[in-house]
Amino acid sequence: MADNNNNNILTLKGVHFSYNDNREILSDINFYLPKGELLGIIGPNGSGKTTLLNVISGILKPKKGEISLLNQNLNKLPIEQIAKFISVVPQDTWVTFNFKTKEVVFMGRLPYISRLKGETLEDYQISREAMKKTHSLSLSENNIQEISGGERQRVFMAKALAQTPQLLLLDEFTSHLDLNYKYEMLNLLKKALNEEELTIISVFHDLNLASIASDRLLLLNEGKIEKIGTPQEVLTKEIIQKAYGVKPILISHPDLEVPQVIM
């Protein structure tokens, strides 16, 4: 996979980011993402994981460097255009007003809906399909403020899929999910990668889950890329100790043969 491969959905070149106080949150980020890959972003608290995700989604503009999405300069694309390519499952899933979950999922169709003409039957069908895939169809008549955090995350996942993106960004989406839903969601993502030609970037808090789920891992430390590569390449004793400051014990997952970190 060459760096300038046309198969890459996303390329970051020399990206720097800082808020107004000039302390660099991200410095010199370079990587590319081929279509169909699941890239896991890991790193200690405050290492810039969420900031990197926000820079990729276009919410934050880099101070230096260039991001290209499907060979177009991301920061020159209008946001309504970006919304057709990228969708995001956020960490914070609170909704101000008490919409039904099916109405929240339907909001994923907004980038495609004319404000004058309104939605079509197809928009409803895509939303319903997305709810089916995320096992949230049984919640469709419930109010969003009256379901659990884990259920809300599944609903937001459905909303992100209803947006029919090419690149899906996830910010610690498994944080409120029970074990069974965690693995079901992972299977769902794998399925989406294969069947819908989706590409995924996910921030993980849980290194072991990241190791199981990701094709490649990107380890951030103090705003810089410490290491990018396969889980075997990234999750080594030396690298983890450098980034997290603890001495881990590494074992290999008995079935999947990916590294697992135990303390």
Partner 1 sequence: MNKPLIENAGYTNWRKKLILMLLVGSLSILGVSLICLNFGVVPIHPKEIFSLLWGNSPDKTNSLIIWQLRAPRIVLGVITGAALSTVGGAFQGILRNPLADPYILGVSAGAALGACIGIALQHVTGYLFASYLPLFAFIGAMLSLYLVYKSSKISYSANSTGLLLAGVAITFLFSALITILLAISGKELQSMVFWLMGDLSAANWKKISIITLPAIIGCLLLFFSSLDLNALSLGEEEAIHLGINTGKLRIRIFLIGSIIIASVVSFTGLIGFVGLVIPHIARLLVGPDHRIMLPASAFLGGIFLILCDVLARTVIAPTEIPIGAITAIVGAPLFIYLLRRKNK
Interacting residues with partner 1 (CB under 8 A): 54, 57-59, 79-84, 86-88, 90, 92, 94-100, 102-104, 106-108, 110-111, 113, 115-116, 118-119, 121, 124-125, 127-128, 140, 163
The answer to whether 165 and 159 are in contact (CB under 8 A) is no
CB of 86 to partner 1, least distance (A): 7
Distance, CA of 116 to CA of 32 (rounded, Å):
39
CB of 111 to partner 1, least distance (A): 4
Q: Which is nearer to partner 1, 169 or 243 (CB)?
A: 169
CB of 124 to partner 1, least distance (A): 4
The answer to whether 208 and 260 are in contact (CB under 8 A) is yes
CB of 167 to partner 1, least distance (A): 12
Q: How many CB atoms lie within 10 A of CB 194?
A: 10
Q: Which is nearer to partner 1, 44 or 111 (CB)?
A: 111
Q: How many CB atoms lie within 10 A of CB 244?
A: 18
145: tokens are 């403020």
Q: Which is nearer to partner 1, 85 or 244 (CB)?
A: 85
CB of 107 to partner 1, least distance (A): 5
Helix (H) or strand (E) holding 207: helix 207-213
Q: Which is nearer to partner 1, 77 or 261 (CB)?
A: 77
Distance, CA of 179 to CA of 182 (rounded, Å):
5
What is the chain's percent helix, strand, coil content, to nearest 5? Answer: 40, 25, 35
Q: Which is nearer to partner 1, 168 or 185 (CB)?
A: 168
Sign of CA dihedral 57, 58, 63, 65: positive
CB of 104 to partner 1, least distance (A): 7
Q: Which is nearer to partner 1, 199 or 260 (CB)?
A: 199
Distance, CA of 223 to CA of 212 (rounded, Å):
24
C-alpha triplet 166, 76, 158: angle, nearest 5°: 25
Alpha carbon 2 to its chain centroid, in Å, reads: 23
CB of 26 to partner 1, least distance (A): 17
246: tokens are 């603890």
Q: Which is nearer to partner 1, 128 or 216 (CB)?
A: 128
